[in-house]
Amino acid sequence: MHQSFINFRHYRYGLIAVVASLATLVTYLLDRPRVAPNGGTWLGYTLGTIAALLVIFLALFGIRKRSFSSTIGTAIGWLSAHVYLGLAALLIATLHSGMHFGANVHTVAYVLMCLVTLSGCWGVYAYVSFPGAMIQQRGNLRRSEFLRQIAELDSSALELAESISPRITQLLSEAARRTDLGGGNLWKQLRGRDESTLLLGIGGAPRRAQLVPNANQRALIRTLAQIRPGRASNEVALASVQKLLELAGSKAALLQRLRRETKFAALLRIWLFLHVPLCCALLAALCIHVVTVFLYW
Amino acid sequence: MLICLIRETTGSASAASKKTPGTVFQTAELTIGSAPDQQLQVPHKDVDPQHALLRLTSGGRLLLTASSPKGVIVNGKRETRVFLYPNDTLQLGDTTVKIEPPDKLSNEQYTCVLRVNDPYTPDETSPAAAAHTSAPASRFTISFWSWTLSLGVAAIFLLVPMGTILAPSVRKLLRTAPFVPSDALWSAGPLHATHRFIGNDCTACHVEPFERVRNSECEKCHADVQHHVDVRTTDVALFDRQRCAQCHFEHKQPASLIPRDERLCTDCHARLDKLKSNSQVENAADFGSNHPEFRLAVLSQDEMVAPGQWQPQWLDSSKPATFKEISHLKFSHAQHLNPKGIKSPTGERVLQCGDCHRPNSSGREMMPIRMETQCSGCHSLHFDEHDPTSGVPHGSLQSMFRVLREHFSRQYLESTGPTTRTQTDRLRRPGQEARQMSIDEQRRARDWADTESLKMARELLEKRVCVDCHDVTRVLGASGFDQWQVAPVKLTQNWMPRARFNHAAHITQPCTACHNTAEHSKVSSDILMPRIAKCRECHGDAGDTSKLSSDCVMCHRFHLPLRGRFDKQALKVRASQ
């Protein structure tokens, strides 16, 4: 069976997390503190210490995964522990709080912990389900392969165009350059909208140049379809235009697949933009929580 | 309006030699950037999607405005806003743009002519564009957000609120200004309603950082809180370093300053015999199964210790058969509660407990039984059945004798008593001086009144009125009015001085549900207080789900009256030991 971070070493960390959670829960239910359960009872202090140490351990994963030379466990083992113990840590922190919330730094730390865990859960979902979907949709093509194929289509289109006319050459050259490959900032990558444009009216006076949207190469295909090559329409030129249309169609299809690929890649990245900054904020809030609890004891 | 001709030459020599047709834009502003919708598109990683704008000023000059903070390199200098003139050169990524003088050959008058030298050959365009467009071109990286959020949290929740501790001068400002973070953000929970007036003045109680709240802060308001034990005894050492906050929890939810957890008491009281060898108080761990039998304190007189004074005396709870109250009152509950009724001025009347035992205004305790309020309705002190106004006062034999003598003296004088002829002669007539009684007559009148009074007093004290309820004794060797003595009556009011009982809380129950021996009690020495078993019919341990959960503070208090102040006295005693 393939070993992922989910079933690492026969769910070792999953079992540890479940046992720890159950033990905490049972202790919490059996405990009879002198006031309503809260972070200030002996169990509260104990659970708080455990939860804080767990949070620090979970944050250390961020360092461990970057140090490739480290021999402290395997990266996949760390990820497995990170995921399972992270879920257990939220439960322990919840019991530590005794379900008392208010407008204070303590609740801010708890809410941040919930948000970090939630974004982490989304990350687990993305890591489990997206890579499969990506492989399925790109059909064993690597990203660079996509780009290479698109470049090939562009250059063969230009080669053909040069045999027809300079105007068409420049039209296709502009179309190639003004192709939106789905890159840009994360928001653009996630939205996946084709913002390609096409420059029409090339050639100087008296015609004016005009930029039109060229999503899925539609404008290019429409323009190519209207071309009447030369005064003496010959078979060769017509065949070249036909070939150009085919190339544009293939490019449009490739671009669509590349865009979906980019979108998945962005989805795999975007949650880290929440998970990591929120985790840093949590560490700050956690330190303040611990200090202020004893500052005003 | 800008009419702009863009001429492109590619990097390769062969392409440069080729004359490519130019592109003409007629536009208000010429957009320059790496995005596909820019009129002059320069795909390069150093060029922003929307990098710069070129427009014509009203003075007819060309103005380049860079919207990207990277600016544009014009003639080797980085500029963000610059006028352009012919032969100026712009550098955008790897691309150079040259402003050419207006084209003389053309028929059309262009506002400007740009010669763009793009080093990429067309077949390299796509991968090059892809290389920069696939990476998120943003300054707002993960580490940017991480630092921003962590420093934001630190500033709002620690650095600014720290001002309340470190800079007392800004303390008030931080705490009162709206939307300004203060140390109130560190509060673990709301204050109890009785402490809300303190507001967000945390340092009112939390005086020393990293130190628990001291008793002295509590005593600023709660100055006269009494101790649990007498502070003049060594028992006070058992409470050494006891903090108010060890029992009175603040900032907790649900807010409750009176702790209900019985362990706060039973930590000591379950093993009190080990803590204090000569303890008068028996061990108690919980009410339902581990609580000593109620100890009753009965008022009694000990002539040896304090003559004439009533003092509470503990009864031995292990010997209920010996329980006796010596109140010097003769009273039969059974007779008064006779279901067939009892004689009263208005005929036969069936009495209820509540006819005599009335609660005070709080309803918690019963008011003392008094002759004037509870008994006199039936028990009249009339002594002359022919004279409805005749009556002796209650409470003092001397007053009673005085009233009797006054009564009989008047009777003598008003001739309502035994009349003689001489008496009528003595009466004053209108128009005549009042005649003085002769000394002989006076003595005769006094003797008669005294004799009659003594006769009546004997009847009242020994036969029919006083003696019904009171212990009346004869004093040996005494005569006249001094020969009687009525034992003073004192009814025990507080049977359990160490506990509190709330009658109002038990109002749904009939009195006899607990005081169940009352209906059959024939003598006043019977003690009608219920035993603990009676309470346990309804009251269970704290946490008992089958009965009423009963914790210690339901009946007992920690701070007891007249024990001495909680903290100050304890310190004094310790210092002197």
Given a cut of 50, is residue B577 above it in pLDDT? Answer: no
Contacts of A279 in chain B (CB under 8 A): 146
Nearest residue on chain B to A261, alpha-carbon basis: B134
Contacts of B188 in chain A (CB under 8 A): 38-40, 100, 102, 104, 106, 293
Rounded Cα distance between A94 and A109, Å, is: 11
Q: Which pLDDT score is estimated for B126?
A: 45
Q: Do B134 and A182 touch (CB under 8 A)?
A: yes
Hunting for tokens 């071109």 — which residue is that? B137
Do B457 and B400 form a contact (C-beta atoms < 8 A)?
yes
Q: Which of A185, A211, A294 sits opposite B37 (nearest CB)?
A: A211
Determine, yes or no, domain membership for B39.
Answer: yes
Nearest residue on chain A to B41, alpha-carbon basis: A178
Contacts of B111 in chain A (CB under 8 A): none
Q: Which pLDDT score is estimated for B134?
A: 45
Q: Model confidence over B287-312: pLDDT tens digits? A: 988 999 999 999 988 877 777 788 88
Mean pLDDT check: name the lowest of A16-30, B250-264, B409-423, B519-533.
B409-423
Mean pLDDT check: name the lowest of B110-114, B149-153, B497-501, B516-520.
B110-114
Q: Do B43 and A40 touch (CB under 8 A)?
A: no
Q: Is ipTM strictly over 0.90?
A: no
Q: pLDDT 10s per residue in chain A (297 long)?
A: 567 788 888 788 889 999 999 999 999 999 888 888 888 889 999 999 999 999 999 999 888 888 888 778 788 888 899 999 999 999 999 999 999 999 999 999 999 999 999 999 999 998 888 877 777 776 667 777 888 888 888 888 888 888 887 778 888 888 888 888 877 777 778 888 888 888 887 654 456 788 888 888 888 888 888 876 555 556 777 788 888 899 999 999 888 888 888 888 888 888 888 899 999 999 999 999 999 999 988
Q: Which pLDDT score is estimated for A140?
A: 64
Determine, yes or no, domain membership for B9.
Answer: yes
Q: Do B213 and A297 touch (CB under 8 A)?
A: yes
Contacts of A111 in chain B (CB under 8 A): none
Given a cut of 70, is residue B434 above it in pLDDT? Answer: no
Q: Which of A38, A205, A284 sits opposite B154 (nearest CB)?
A: A284
Q: Model confidence over B361-399: pLDDT tens digits? A: 999 999 999 999 999 888 988 888 777 788 899 989 999
Rounded Cα distance between B547 and B569, Å, is: 41
Q: Which domain holds residue B28?
A: 2-133
Do B296 and B491 form a contact (C-beta atoms < 8 A)?
no
Q: Which pLDDT score is estimated for B20?
A: 59
Hunting for tokens 């006070």 — which residue is that? B236
Mean pLDDT of B30-34: 88
Contacts of A48 in chain B (CB under 8 A): none
Residues 6+ apart with CB under 8 A from A2: none
Do A211 and A198 form a contact (C-beta atoms < 8 A)?
yes
Q: Which of B32, B394, B186 is nearest to A106 (CA)?
A: B186
Determine, yes or no, domain membership for B151.
Answer: no
Determine, yes or no, domain membership for B85.
Answer: yes
Average pLDDT, chain B: 84
Mean pLDDT of B65-81: 89
Contacts of B68 in chain A (CB under 8 A): none
Q: Which pLDDT score is estimated for B472?
A: 92
Is pTM beyond 0.80 here? Answer: no
Chain A from 124 to 153: CB within 8 A of any B CB: 143, 147-148, 150-151
Residues 6+ apart with CB under 8 A from B364: B500, B501, B502, B503, B504
And the tokens for B107? 């028929």
Q: Which pLDDT score is estimated for B124?
A: 44
Mean pLDDT of B241-268: 87
Q: Which pLDDT score is estimated for B412?
A: 85
Q: Which pLDDT score is estimated for A114?
A: 96
Q: Model confidence over B466-510: pLDDT tens digits? A: 999 999 999 888 888 889 999 999 999 999 988 999 999 999 999
Q: Which of B23, B36, B261 sits opposite A202 (nearest CB)?
A: B23
Given a cut of 70, is residue B91 above it in pLDDT? Answer: yes
CATH classification at residue B81 = 2.60.200.20
Q: Which pLDDT score is estimated for A113?
A: 96
Query: Looking at CA atoms only, how far is residue B575 from chain A in angstroms?
Result: 28
Q: Do A102 and B157 touch (CB under 8 A)?
A: no
Chain B interface disruption, residue of A181, A194, A250, A264, most B CBs within 10 A:
A181
Q: Judge whether A294 is closer than 8 Å to chain B, CB to CB.
A: yes
B511-516 long-range contacts (CB < 8 A, ≥24 apart) are: B511/B353, B511/B354, B511/B357, B512/B353, B515/B353
Report the interhelical angle of A105-138 vs A75-97 (nearest 10°): 150
Q: Which of B35, B43, B253 sits opposite A100 (nearest CB)?
A: B253
And the tokens for B530? 């219920």
Q: Which pLDDT score is estimated for B357?
A: 94
Do B84 and B62 form a contact (C-beta atoms < 8 A)?
yes
Nearest residue on chain B to A173, alpha-carbon basis: B122
What confidence tier does B417 reach under pLDDT thresholds 50, 70, 90?
very low
Q: Which residues pair with B114 in a beta bridge?
A: B6, B99
Mean pLDDT check: name the lowest of A119-123, B77-81, B318-322, B421-425.
B421-425
Q: Which pLDDT score is estimated for B235?
A: 86
Q: Do B21 and A288 touch (CB under 8 A)?
A: no
Rounded Cα distance between A293 and A148, Å, is: 59
How many structural domains is chain B composed of?
1
Mean pLDDT of B98-115: 72
Rounded Cα distance between A116 and A158, Å, is: 50
Determine, yes or no, domain membership for B484.
Answer: no
Rounded Cα distance between B128 and B10, Å, is: 15
Q: Which of A38, A189, A288 sits opposite B252 (nearest CB)?
A: A38
Rounded Cα distance between B268 and B282, Å, is: 11
Q: Judge whether A215 is closer than 8 Å to chain B, CB to CB.
A: no
Chain A from 234 to 263: CB within 8 A of any B CB: 262
Chain A from 159 to 188: CB within 8 A of any B CB: 166-167, 170, 173, 176-186
Q: What angle do CA B4, B6, B7 make, to 5 degrees?
A: 145
Q: Which pLDDT score is estimated for A185?
A: 73
CA distances from B537 to B60, B283, B308, B558 (A): 105, 21, 40, 26
Q: Do A170 and B21 touch (CB under 8 A)?
A: yes
What confidence tier does B92 reach under pLDDT thresholds 50, 70, 90?
confident
Determine, yes or no, domain membership for B213.
Answer: no
Mean pLDDT of B542-557: 91
Contacts of A38 in chain B (CB under 8 A): 188-189, 252-253
Q: Which pLDDT score is estimated for B15?
A: 44
Q: Do B149 and A281 touch (CB under 8 A)?
A: yes
Q: Do A38 and B253 touch (CB under 8 A)?
A: yes
Q: Model confidence over B437-451: pLDDT tens digits? A: 778 888 888 999 999
Q: What is the Cα B443 distance to its own chain's centre?
A: 74
Q: Do B126 and A179 touch (CB under 8 A)?
A: yes
Given a cut of 90, is residue B421 above it in pLDDT? Answer: no
Q: Do A183 and B206 touch (CB under 8 A)?
A: no
Contacts of A158 in chain B (CB under 8 A): 122-123
Rounded Cα distance between B79 and B82, Å, is: 6
What confidence tier does B125 reach under pLDDT thresholds 50, 70, 90?
very low
Given a cut of 50, is residue B418 above it in pLDDT? Answer: no
Query: Looking at CA atoms only, how far is residue A287 from chain B in angstroms?
Result: 9
Chain A interface disruption, residue of B2, B8, B9, B24, most A CBs within 10 A:
B24
Q: Which of A186, A208, A281 sits opposite B24 (nearest CB)?
A: A208
Chain A interface disruption, residue of B25, B95, B123, B198, most A CBs within 10 A:
B123
Determine, yes or no, domain membership for B115.
Answer: yes
Determine, yes or no, domain membership for B420.
Answer: no
Q: Do A283 and B150 touch (CB under 8 A)?
A: yes
Q: Which pLDDT score is estimated for B429?
A: 59
Q: Which pLDDT score is estimated for B425?
A: 52
Do B437 and B422 form a contact (C-beta atoms < 8 A)?
no
Contacts of B183 in chain A (CB under 8 A): 296
Given a cut of 90, is residue B26 above it in pLDDT? Answer: no
CA distances from B21 to A171, B6, B18, B175 (A): 11, 9, 9, 71
Contacts of B150 in chain A (CB under 8 A): 277, 280-281, 283-284
Contacts of B44 in chain A (CB under 8 A): none
